[in-house]
Structure 1
Amino acid sequence: MGLIRLLLLVVVLVGGYWAYYVYVSGEPYDEIGTAINSRLPEKAREFGCAELKRRHSGAVNAPAGCEPYWTRI
Structure 2
Amino acid sequence: MLKFLSILLAALIGGGIFAVGRWYVYAEYSATPYDEVGIALNGTMPAPLNAWACARLHARFPGALPPLGCAAEGGGWR
Please report the TM-score for the alignment, with normalisation by the length of structure 1. Answer: 0.89
What is the Cα-based RMSD across aligned positions, in Å? 1.5
1:68 aligned residue (61, 68, 72): 72
Q: Aligned equivalents of 1:38 and 1:51: distance in 2?
A: 15
Query: Which residue, 5, 9, 12 being the options, matches 2:10?
Result: 5
The aligned length equals 71
SS in structure 2 of the partner of residue 68 of structure 1: coil
Contact (CA 8 Å) 2:23, 2:38: kept in 1 or not?
Answer: yes
Q: Which residue of 2 aligns with 1:18?
A: 23
Provide the TM-score with structure 2 as the length reference: 0.84
Q: Percent identity?
A: 34
Post-superposition Cα deviations, 1:42-68, rounded to whole Å, max 9, x if no partner, equal: 100000000000011110x21111113
Larger RCO (alpha carbons 8 Å, 6+ apart): 1
Counterpart CA distance in 2 for 1:29 and 1:48 is 13
Larger Rg: 2
Deviation at 1:23, TM superposition (A): 0.4
Structure 2 residue ranges without an equivalent (≥5): 1-5
